[in-house]
Structure 1
Amino acid sequence: MTHLEARPGEVELDFDPATETDASVMFIGHIRSPWKRGDCPANIRKARERTCEAWIELDPRLVQGLNGLKVGQQIVLIYWMHETRRDIIVQSPRHSEGTRGVFSLRSPLRPNPLAMSSVRITSLDPDRGNVGIDAIDCFDGTPLVDIKPWVPTIDLLPDE
């Protein structure tokens, strides 16, 4: 895979995190979207500003795991940004001045290119393992790591 050049001020690691194997992850399916390199929204908020058809294609062996999900329900998708660099530790984001460490950003450029988005289920076909979603900010075919229900009592921070 060809990598995009680092921007001024960005810092590359002296090793490739992709060669470090501490655990194994099974992709549970793939995310289908109209997006490809060059036209993908930068985040889920921007994805919702653009009308698109997006859905999850779950591994057929795992369709029973959809039991209990409902159309209209909010879920959290955790996905593997498989076409990104993993060796940038300090970035120069376009949306802010100066450089920032990767752990202070939601950029896909990170040692483990995990991303997450809260989405709403728009359709559900458990027999085929397809779950329609309201929007997504990743390339077509992005591997899906997990689906979790969004639960306000867990996912909202308490007022201080």
Structure 2
Amino acid sequence: MKTKPARDGEVALGFDPAECKDAAITFIGVLQSDWAPGEAPKNLRQSREAGGGHGRVVISAPYRDGLRGLQVGQAIWLVLWFDRARRDLIVQAPRHADGPRGTFALRSPVRPNPIAIEAVRITSLDHEAGEIGIDVTDAFDGTPVLDIKPWLDGIDIPPGPED
């Protein structure tokens, strides 16, 4: 993979996490969107402002029964594999920050395991075809889908300091 030069203060791991084989995962489908590298918004807020990206999740045939119980209008978590993201930076120098920060303190797609989560709403659903329309995405067209989980009110919002 071609990588951009490091910015001042950035630290690379010295190895490619993609070469480590600690676990196996299976892609259950693919996300389709209007976004391509160099054209995608940086986050879901920017994507909403740009029209949402016309996201659609296409689930592979063996996994389509797993869509039972999902409904149009429901909020879900999409778990995605940002397959085109750089993986070797452990300290990054984002343009929006006042200095370098550890990867785990950022929402950047650049991370040892390029897993992304997006809280989205189902806009259409075709169980038979395995297609889920979603209200917004900032992921590139062709991004692999790892999992889908329902958003559960009261569970997916951590308690406040007084709770």
Query: TM-score if structure 2 supplies the norm length?
Result: 0.95
Unaligned runs of 5+ in 1: none
Q: Distance in 2 between matches of 1:110 and 1:158?
A: 27
Percent pairwise identity? 51
Look up the equivalent residue of 2:68 and give its one-letter code: N
Q: How does 1:1-160 map to 2 (within 5 A)?
A: 1-51=1-51, 52-159=53-160, 160=162
Q: Which 4+ runs in 1 deviate beyond 4 A?
A: none
User: SS at the partner of 1:64?
Assistant: helix
Shift of 1:14: 1.1
Unaligned runs of 5+ in 2: none
Shift of 1:38: 0.8
Task: Summarize deviations over 1:129-152 as a string: whole Å, max 9, x none.
Answer: 000000101110000011000001
Q: Distance in 2 between matches of 1:54 and 1:138?
A: 9
Q: Distance in 2 between matches of 1:80 and 1:89?
A: 18
Shift of 1:9: 1.2
User: SS at the partner of 1:112?
Assistant: coil
Cα RMSD over matched residues?
0.8
Shift of 1:15: 1.1
Shift of 1:49: 1.1
User: SS at the partner of 2:63?
Assistant: helix
Aligned residues between the structures: 160
Look up the equivalent residue of 2:16 and give its one-letter code: D
Q: Distance in 2 between matches of 1:95 and 1:144?
A: 28
Q: Distance in 2 between matches of 1:6 and 1:114?
A: 21
Shift of 1:19: 0.5
